[in-house]
Amino acid sequence: MGDADQKGIGMSFEAPCSSVSKRSEDLEEVHLVKVAGYDFNRGLDLMALLKSFSTTGFQASNLGDAIEVVNQMLAWRLSYEEPAEDCPEEERDPAFRESVRCKIFLGVTSNLISSGVRDTVRFLMEHRMVDVLVTTAGGIAEDLIKCLAPTYKGDFSLPGASLRSRGFKRIGNLLVTDNSYQRFQDWIVPILDQMLEEQRTEDVLWSPSKVVARLGKEVNDPSSYLYWASKNNIPVFCPALTDGSLGDVLYSHSRSNPTLVIDIHHVCNANMMRNGADYAVYINTAEEFDGSDSGAHPDEAVSWGKIRGSAKPVKVHCDATIAFPLLVAATFAKSIDRSA
């Protein structure tokens, strides 16, 4: 009886154990990365802290992976690739191949320009670290408005009715005065009048990118990323130029001057024409359950041919006002020669 009881106890003990845990694989063969954070006993080293993100876990690791991808993108040269059989002779020249780098597209939304991230974008444009910028109409207007009047820090909980009665508009926890938008309209309308005159007398066709370049030139303010884009001949594409406060001004101007024509162009799918991007980093808080383009996992873009299947895209689920400046600090900003 005793032996039977012991065997019964043994069987009832082994069964649940086998279902709860399994024998682990040989870790040396799996090549797993050990999780470890930054040791502040080493003192404060920003670059070392950012490097530690890759082994920290969760979204810190995603940001660490994004940093690695961007650094790979910045380091790439055409000389890393073997020339194709049908490659023209001039493209086989080693000096030429060493000079060819990645063409970098940066996409930003208007809320980032409303925030202090505008200064990070301006830094990239000032130092020619981006080849193409894509933004919304708000991303254009907010940059120009900030040249005319400041944006202030507020609070997410400030009541809308009270703010409206006092002449404020709220963007998250940021505040913009109604006077700012009036100043913007007063500033831009004479420019639109001049553009209309040039269209009539010089047959100028105003595409959105030409409009944006003109506004960047006219604002003539080094705090503006559009100023630096215009100065450095970096194209800024805004397919939905007639949206937001800029669209309001364009509509108002069209009532009295209906002949100003702005041609429409789109670049969102530009990389499909070359079989997808070689590198891709997304930073946003959008989720994919609603089928939105911004919330989609990068692998969805692979299915559309927007990102190459051989690429290693990274999505960082984080407020871009936190993650993007850190990403720039660990990538683009490192190349600036401070002694120059």
> DSSP character for 172?
T
Tens-place pLDDT, residues 141-172: 999 999 999 999 999 999 999 999 999 999 99
Most confidently modeled range among 17-21, 55-59, 94-98: 55-59
Tens-place pLDDT, residues 97-112: 999 999 999 999 999 9
- Can you spell out the DSSP letters for 187-238? HHHHHHHHHHHHHHHH---B-HHHHHHHHHHHH--TT-HHHHHHHTT--EE-
Burial of 22 (0-12, 13-18, 19+ CB in 10 A): exposed
Q: In whole angstroms, what is the distance from residue 236 CA to residue 216 CA?
A: 10
Most confidently modeled range among 198-202, 222-226, 269-273: 222-226
Most confidently modeled range among 232-241, 242-251, 325-334: 325-334
* Nearest residue to 246 (alpha-carbon basis) of 97, 140, 123: 140
Contact 306, 298 (CB under 8 A): no
For residues 270-288, give the mean pLDDT: 85
Look at residue 251 and tell me whether its pLDDT is greater than 80: no
Residues 103-268, CATH architecture: 3-Layer(aba) Sandwich (3.40)
> DSSP character for 102?
P
β-strand pairing of 314-317 with 281-284: parallel
Residues annotated as catalytic (active site), given as ranges: 306
Residue with tokens 């990068």, as numbered in its chain: 298
The domain ranges of the chain are: 53-101, 103-268, 269-289+302-312
